[in-house]
Structure 1
């Protein structure tokens, strides 16, 4: 392989010795032959024995041609990168003994979608396809089960479990043109103006040269106009530039979809985006946009796990953030954290939650009361009551009333709100963030 060729994706492989048995027609033929032979003995009619004879011969040939347990079957699955957003590509390869004529495959794809098909020996050497992906995060992309068909169709194997392949699907990233800033930027250098004297920012004033001032800051025109004694020099002073500190707080204690009837924890696949899908997308988009602007971004979670990432900048830090965000998943039963996660002073705190309970809202109000600028990103999918009973609809309305009061209380406490998945006609997230990014006066 040359240096310019991409490395082949790593595969998952199983090696199993197949367990052969005769096909149903052969088994039915054996039963019919035994029945006819029994009738010949009971009725003393040789005609039944003559009819049973060819059946016995057929069964004997089928059993004799049945492959013996020996050469193993090697099944390999490989996943290829999603290059065009259509889904994750897969490749399945079977290495078969000479006695195998065909393969029946059960393919369990993401979201528990099943595909059943049969292929001949040559096609089984390389099967390709694409699996559409609905959700981000860690998930099993493909699982294979297969059964083999012997030569002439006289034998088959019991279904065997083949390899399965999983992948960490990164969240999509949306482009953000304008971003809200914290009340005060305190970094050493960056792309934002601050109230601290220094180099690189907007004009501040003209003052006498003092120890520590740079010679290139001397304003010769102002010196000529204002100097009253020999040796007096005047310099132009400016405000320093600084970077912002942004802390993303993901509420990953639970995960809900659009179907209200599944909020109680019903099992099964969810074919639409969930609250954590939206939270990963929002966190990934915001982290990428803020780091591209030269700011520092950190990550906290409300589940009490050790997935916190301290604020930092640069492309390597972005990779670490994206990997951590992609691995965010519910930890089982929602837990209550007794301690509010610590965030650096003068940070912009972005809380991503469904706000279906008090914990995330209480922490957001706490951060706002201590001087942080807090933005609450609502990641609850647009609810669907299509399959809900009357009792479930009533419970949903009560829950939404409590949630509305909670959101209104947050707004009254100074927390700003953004809905990541808005209803029809609502402002998209980028537009809402642009409205919150209007120039603010720094303290």
Structure 2
């Protein structure tokens, strides 16, 4: 979706069959993520509505003209999510986007969508790298499963764009295993049908060695690919994005047809399946009739990055929902943290704990604790004393915990927070509220 990925599928190079990926270990697809949008509103515990950049508040990329907003731009009704775009002023537009908080390595990704219409549109379905183990972001890598650009010139309603950002940039690419129907029509950009007429199913099979893009169950192309950062090592896992961009030098090259607005990128569902030898793995990803045969795409690799996991904590003798007395003159309070820290974390990262007042957010106490001896990959109890001010007011407080770097990265003023999991949640975050207590007595 970033500017560097503006490439299309025409012309595909001569089909070149490469050797099949090794390791025939998986028995089928296992569903690891699904949203059918069956509720009445977007589930904000599953999706964010801004890019991960700029403290997860960035509302545009490239030179597109819309801004991503939450002014009824994410409408859920009758099992469909509409990312609604509208004109808000002269040359000004707002739209919707979703970014998964859960991350993944490899597998089969599928979305059923109804594409918008008109000159100037740029909806997309793509993967971008999330935070790495230190909390840093990097780009590339990126896989654009689908970019539907209609600019009224070179880019027409009967074509779809798909590409990836390679490391090193500009690497030669060989495409192979293209579907015969599309292989003969790629110079006219994927045939004659207007892709915005009716629902379409876009799919991606991503393995450690290559990826394959499918449209309505037909392989558009397959190509070698490695999910590497700029240093040439495995990048952080991917989050899933669907967005409805408008305009810019690509989509808006010949103007924007405002007569189609307001309109939406409609999403019926989003699914992610991964290869598994488990008994509940099968031939389909959910109930999709377009699922590719897992026997054709086998690999053995982790499905996500290992992260620290926080469990329930206690302040004094009070666990979440309890009460604790913190009278004036007490210099510190015992805090019992529970976490599973991945092996090797102690060398570069610490446990960060802060007690905050609910409502005001006033900090009562904060502390950084070394993780030496606690990073063996098992759930451990960390008991530490947190300093207290001379007076402690009664009220409701929460303990917020994180894993932070021991030193700030180059150019930064503070250490980075590492991505973590809270309790049994699958979605990563940068901090966990691990306990809530009430201070019942205090003399001041």
- Name the structure with the higher helix share: 1
State the TM-score, normalized to the length of structure 1.
0.21
State the TM-score, normalized to the length of structure 2.
0.21
- Name the structure with the higher strand share: 2
Larger Rg, first or second structure (1 or 2): 1
* Relative contact order, higher structure (CA 8 A, sep 6+): 2
